[in-house]
């Protein structure tokens, strides 16, 4: 009789768990109507509350079928035994804020192993069926705001809340491998749902169906911001360090799932790859559903959890770099083959080497902290000089040739997570940590990472990446740009590394330029159009083209612009359409500003300049046919001089130009910066070199890039050292008596500026010192010069398109503006020199001239070039691009026969007409005289007046 009663009870419980009973659906409807804040409203009298008793009874009924004796998920044939877990997952775990609706004392029962384990196991075994049913679940009774998140999304958060305890840890006896696999499965399908809804919205928008497209995910999410915030709060446990550390510990120990062994596809040992999938999906979910903060909480966790990035890179290194590959053998990398080929012990060896290198260089770092070193950090010796610039195959990674479609889903996941996390860490990693302490990676590893990113992005842009690969490409591009920017500031990679992916597949310059311009025009007219691979490469990775080719591309852009303006009727020669201005020699900046600043992009056209001498008399015959080169160089010479007050010089040895903070107090100060931007734009547009160079930080603003802490070393090394001292200070920072203010002095007055509201009353402490360091750097690098750089940028882009500027980094921009290396190729200059006034290549004086120039020191040759052209550097692509051509004009002033016999030569000095790049050279008979006169002339820094 007891046996019959037991059998009857089991049959009843099986029936309760079956679909036919509709038990779970009924409980779902009831719990779904409960107040979301129900658990927080329970008080001492709650036991008498009728609703409380009903809720407790409902939960008890829902859990009772799980306690059937010998419940065994492996008995899949007995469907009724597993149906309860299936119905529990489908009906209850998909309820919005399921845990938050229940009394607090009932939650431990839901977290018990006897409930969670069967649910995880059944879900993984029947995943396809259950996911399909979740997607089809009726949400007609939902409020519109709740429809923004599908049942799959609620199942995901409810499982996370159940698996994590309230005291910063997982629930006891949790099946961690199964938990991770369930979260991965639900997260992947939630993101697929988001992509599908977004795709439907975009498709319907293109068809003009406004009413239907309004239900797209973007509109719903943005209209329900409060829902997103409260929904994302449920993901908080996965952003805690204990969560990641525990999973890494389990993966390291090799613990396996306690699930049934009959389906090894989903169940088994927890691997590092599983954790990577887990957090890769979390990154994307936070980006979609948390638009205000984005994936920052997850990135903070991944970047700052000790050893995690090293683990990720160890997996990638073994997957990407082939055994006995070129990079491992190259002498540029001192990494041994064992580092590439042996998986065990990689991290220990790296950490020991890093520790040793850091200890050896600690003394140097301390000198920088304490200010004993008066020079800024110099890391140019970190790149081995033995690398053959032509052997770019060394840096070609064959395993990434056909990315992203040609790589496995597993490798794609690892790459996405590593790129996202490392780019986030690079934001706060200072140069001492990167170059000297070499944490978290050695410089050899950094070169491998740079080569990997460069190859991945270039090949990814050259193939149809597809929407599903967008997260990987976005994170890889961001990380690549940060590595390249750091290398531009302090080189750690050989130049050939950046060129290697495109060595065999670069298109012709003209083709690349024309394709880029057409696509840019299409993007401006219709942002929904997809940019082709060629346009993407030029825009995103211009550094894969050699600098000389990018200069040619820049010139091609300008030529195309001139042609289009000519077709449109905007180009006119000296005549009715040319703009005439009159400029006084003693007021060249003021007159130029008054007459030209309002022209905007019309400065591309020809300008007829008439000069008035300092005596007030018109100068005849100057500049017909375009903006005078002399006017352009003279106005820049005056306006960029520190004495004028608009620009000052950096405290570094190269004395680069940076906007003067005091310029804001000058009359028309901001407008003057906008005007000077147009002057520089005109010089670039016409190919006229200006003998000036701007600071790296200022150019970064013109290129549309934000400057970070370590770029302060190129602007103010002393301030940088002081901030590094504060950052690494071991004692109590309060002893330094700092607050969140900075003091500026201008025209004899001191101005105290707060770095944040109430900064004068906020002391710098150990807790907020990082905030202070970055606030101070942000002010000096970004906020202080923003109004000036913004105005300069507006003027510059009136003539030079922003996309043209982005072909270059900061150093290259200065070369584009002021020319090439600090020496002259005499042979190239000789081949491209014109002779007038009676001189020819065979003239005696001309032969003597070239002999003398070849014997000059490099500095003297540069002085000669500046004397003649007003710029000390040669054109980037050679003297054939110098406009007008370098010219030597004969000045006939022969000495008498008796003077020659007596050892005398011509006494007259050489002179120059810089507006025509012309050297006026007397007919000297002796090389010694020519050399002496020429050196005297070029050292006097004068021109016409020497005549």
Contacts of 423 (CB under 8 A, 6+ apart): 475, 478, 479, 482
Tally DSSP H helices, then E strands, for the chain: 42, 10
DSSP output for 570-630: ----SSTTSEEEEEEGGGHHHHHHHHHGGGGGGGGS-EEEEEE-TTSPBPPS---SSS-HH
How far is Cα 593 from Cα 588, in angstroms, rounded to an integer?
8
Contacts of 211 (CB under 8 A, 6+ apart): none
917, 885 contact by CB (below 8 A): yes
How far is Cα 237 from Cα 128, in angstroms, rounded to an integer?
27
How far is Cα 381 from Cα 573, in angstroms, rounded to an integer?
52
457, 403 contact by CB (below 8 A): no
Establish whether the linkage from the previous residue to 754 is cis, with ω within 30° of 0.
Answer: no
Closest CA to 362 of 295, 291, 277, 438: 438
DSSP output for 685-752: HHT---S--B-HHHHHHHTT----GGGGGGT-HHHHHHHHHHHT--S-GGGG--BSEEEEEETTEEEE
551, 571 contact by CB (below 8 A): no
Determine which helix (DSSP H) or strand (DSSP E) holds 483, and give its type and residue range: helix 470-489
Report CA 301 to chain centroid distance, whole Å: 20
538, 516 contact by CB (below 8 A): yes
Determine which helix (DSSP H) or strand (DSSP E) holds 647, and give its type and residue range: strand 647-649
How far is Cα 215 from Cα 199, in angstroms, rounded to an integer?
12
How far is Cα 875 from Cα 868, in angstroms, rounded to an integer?
14
Alpha carbons within 13 angstroms on the beta-carbon side of residue 332 total 25
DSSP output for 748-801: TEEEEEESSTTGGG-B--TTTHHHHHHHHHHIIIIITTHHHHHHHHHHHTTTS-
How many other C-beta atoms are found inside a 10 Å radius of the C-beta of residue 462?
A: 20
How far is Cα 311 from Cα 241, in angstroms, rounded to an integer?
16
Tell me whether residue 488 is one of the annotated catalytic residues.
no
How far is Cα 879 from Cα 909, in angstroms, rounded to an integer?
25
101, 36 contact by CB (below 8 A): yes
734, 698 contact by CB (below 8 A): no
914, 869 contact by CB (below 8 A): yes
Residue 922, beta-bridge partner list: 891
398, 322 contact by CB (below 8 A): yes
Taken as a whole, the chain contains a residue count of 947
Closest CA to 572 of 611, 607, 609, 623: 607
Q: Which of 83, 91, 871, 915 is catalytic?
A: 915
Angle, vertex CA 270, rays to CA 266 and CA 273, nearest 5: 90
How far is Cα 437 from Cα 910, in angstroms, rounded to an integer?
56
Determine which helix (DSSP H) or strand (DSSP E) holds 911, and give its type and residue range: strand 911-913
Phi, psi of 578 (to 5 degrees): -70, 150
How far is Cα 402 from Cα 462, in angstroms, rounded to an integer?
9
How far is Cα 340 from Cα 314, in angstroms, rounded to an integer?
9
Return the active site residues. 915
């Amino acid at each position: 009789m007891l046996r019959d009663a037991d059998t009857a009870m089991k049959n009843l419980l099986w029936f309760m768990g079956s679909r036919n009973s509709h038990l779970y659906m009924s409980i779902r409807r009831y719990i779904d109507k409960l107040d979301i804040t129900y658990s927080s409203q329970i008080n001492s009298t709650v036991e008498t509350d009728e609703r409380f008793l009903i809720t407790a009874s409902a939960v008890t009924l829902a859990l009772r079928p799980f306690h059937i004796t010998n419940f065994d998920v492996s008995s899949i044939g007995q469907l009724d035994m597993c149906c309860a877990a299936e119905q529990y997952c489908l009906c209850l775990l998909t309820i919005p804020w399921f845990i938050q609706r229940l009394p607090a004392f009932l939650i431990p029962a839901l977290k018990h192993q006897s409930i969670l384990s069967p649910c995880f196991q059944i879900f993984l075994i029947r995943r396809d069926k259950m996911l399909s049913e979740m997607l089809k679940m009726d949400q007609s009774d939902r409020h519109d705001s709740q429809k923004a998140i599908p049942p799959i999304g609620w199942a995901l958060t409810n499982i996370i809340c159940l698996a994590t305890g309230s005291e910063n840890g997982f629930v006891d006896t949790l099946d961690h491998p199964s938990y991770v696999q369930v979260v991965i499965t639900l997260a992947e399908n939630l993101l697929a749902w988001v992509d599908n809804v977004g795709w439907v919205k975009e498709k319907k928008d293109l068809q003009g169906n406004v009413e239907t497209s309004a239900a797209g995910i973007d509109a719903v999410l943005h209209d329900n911001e409060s829902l997103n915030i409260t929904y994302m709060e449920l993901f908080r446990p996965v952003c805690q360090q204990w969560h990641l550390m525990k999973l890494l510990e389990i993966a390291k120990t090799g613990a396996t799932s306690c699930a049934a062994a009959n389906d090894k596809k989903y169940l088994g040992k927890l691997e590092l790859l599983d954790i990577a999938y887990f957090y890769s999906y979390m990154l994307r979910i936070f980006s979609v559903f948390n638009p205000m903060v984005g994936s920052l909480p997850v990135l903070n966790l991944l970047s700052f959890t000790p050893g995690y990035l090293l683990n990720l890179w160890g997996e990638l290194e073994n997957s990407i770099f082939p055994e006995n590959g070129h990079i491992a053998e190259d002498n540029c990398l001192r990494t041994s083959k064992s580092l590439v080929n042996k998986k065990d012990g990689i991290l220990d060896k790296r950490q020991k080497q890093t520790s040793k290198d850091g200890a050896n260089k600690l003394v140097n770092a301390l000198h920088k902290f304490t200010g004993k070193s008066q020079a800024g950090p110099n890391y140019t010796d970190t790149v081995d000089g033995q690398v053959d610039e032509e052997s770019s195959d060394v840096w070609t990674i064959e395993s990434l040739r056909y990315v992203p479609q040609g790589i496995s889903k597993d490798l794609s996941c690892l790459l996405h997570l590593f790129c996202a996390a490392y780019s986030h860490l690079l934001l706060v990693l200072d140069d001492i940590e990167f170059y000297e302490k070499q944490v978290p990676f050695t410089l050899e590893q950094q070169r491998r990472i740079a080569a990997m990113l460069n190859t991945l992005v270039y090949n990814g842009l050259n193939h149809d990446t597809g929407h599903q690969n967008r997260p990987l490409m976005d994170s890889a591009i961001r990380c690549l740009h940060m590595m390249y920017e750091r290398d531009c500031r302090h080189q750690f990679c050989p130049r050939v590394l950046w060129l290697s992916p495109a060595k065999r597949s670069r298109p012709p310059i003209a083709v690349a330029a024309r394709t880029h311009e057409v696509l840019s025009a299409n993007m401006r007219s219709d942002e929904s159009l997809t940019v082709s691979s060629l346009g993407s490469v030029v825009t995103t990775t211009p550094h894969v083209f050699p600098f000389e080719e990018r200069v040619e591309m820049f010139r091609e852009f300008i030529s195309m612009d001139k042609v289009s303006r000519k077709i449109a009727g905007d180009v006119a020669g000296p005549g009715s359409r040319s703009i005439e201005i009159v400029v006084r020699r003693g007021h060249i900046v003021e007159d130029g500003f008054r007459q030209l600043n309002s022209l905007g992009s019309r400065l591309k056209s020809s300008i007829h300049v008439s000069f008035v001498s300092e005596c007030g008399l018109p100068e005849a015959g100057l500049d017909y046919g375009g903006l005078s080169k002399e006017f352009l160089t003279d106005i820049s010479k005056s306006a960029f001089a520190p004495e004028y007050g608009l620009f000052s010089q950096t405290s570094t040895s190269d004395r680069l130009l940076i906007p003067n903070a005091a310029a804001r107090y000058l009359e028309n100060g901001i407008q003057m910066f906008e005007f000077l931007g147009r002057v520089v734009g005109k010089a670039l547009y016409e190919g006229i070199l200006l003998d000036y160079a701007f600071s790296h930080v200022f150019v970064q603003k013109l290129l549309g890039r934000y400057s970070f802490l370590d770029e302060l070393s190129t602007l103010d090394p002393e301030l940088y050292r002081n901030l590094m001292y504060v950052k690494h200070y071991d004692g109590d920072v309060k002893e330094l008596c700092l607050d969140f203010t900075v003091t500026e002095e201008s025209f004899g007055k001191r101005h105290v500026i707060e770095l944040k509201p109430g900064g004068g009353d906020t002391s710098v402490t150990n807790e907020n010192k990082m905030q202070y360091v970055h606030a101070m750097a942000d002010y000096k690098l970004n906020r202080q010069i923003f109004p000036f750089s913004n105005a300069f940028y507006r003027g510059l882009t009136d003539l030079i398109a922003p996309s043209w500027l982005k072909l270059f980094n900061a150093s290259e921009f200065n070369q584009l503006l002021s020319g090439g290396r600090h020496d002259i190729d005499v042979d190239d200059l000789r081949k491209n020199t014109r002779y007038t006034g009676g001189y020819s290549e065979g003239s005696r004086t001309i032969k003597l001239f070239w002999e003398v120039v070849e014997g000059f020191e490099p500095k003297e040759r540069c002085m000669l070039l500046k004397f003649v052209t007003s710029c000390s550097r040669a054109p980037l692509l050679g003297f054939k691009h110098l406009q007008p051509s370098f010219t030597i004009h004969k000045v006939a002033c022969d000495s008498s026969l008796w003077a020659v016999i007596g050892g005398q030569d011509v006494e007259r000095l050489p002179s120059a007409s810089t507006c025509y790049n012309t050297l006026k050279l007397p007919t000297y008979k002796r090389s010694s005289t020519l050399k002496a006169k020429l050196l005297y002339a070029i050292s006097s820094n004068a021109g016409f007046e020497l005549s």
